[in-house]
Structure 1
Amino acid sequence: MTPPWLPVAGRATRSVSCLIACNGHGLAQAPCLGTLLTDRVDGDKVHDDLVIVWRERPRFGPSLAFNASVIRAM
């Protein structure tokens, strides 16, 4: 959950975009924002609703438990 109860979409890496924290409204928000995220990945114009929750850079540092080396080892 996020403090303002808003979902967060953004770029996790250069080749990975993500949409997280749809909180209690996920049934309504996730399909809508997922479609908008798909349009952005396909190169279409970014919709205003996606701009509101978009973060170009991750706000948190990389996870020590789930980094590329650990995931490959698993």
Structure 2
Amino acid sequence: MNIFYKTIIITPDISWAKYSNAGYFFYPDLTIGGPHKIYGNRSKVYRVHTFADLYYSSITEQGNENLQPENAIS
């Protein structure tokens, strides 16, 4: 029994982005597949706050103009 069914496909991918106030971000990933796939990636995430995060005001919520962009590595 051949578990790879005579075909293995390896696909490397990259994404690259530039944010004017946060710099450059590089997102590599790798997919190994045939009938089943194994996928993995490493990325640096950058989140810009929404208008509501910064300025919205209601009885239960208050925006914060001093919020800084969020960064994470996963």
Higher relative contact order (CA 8 A, sep 6+): 1
What TM-score, normalized to structure 1? 0.23
What TM-score, normalized to structure 2? 0.23
Q: Higher strand share goes to which structure?
A: 2
Q: Which structure has the larger Rg?
A: 2
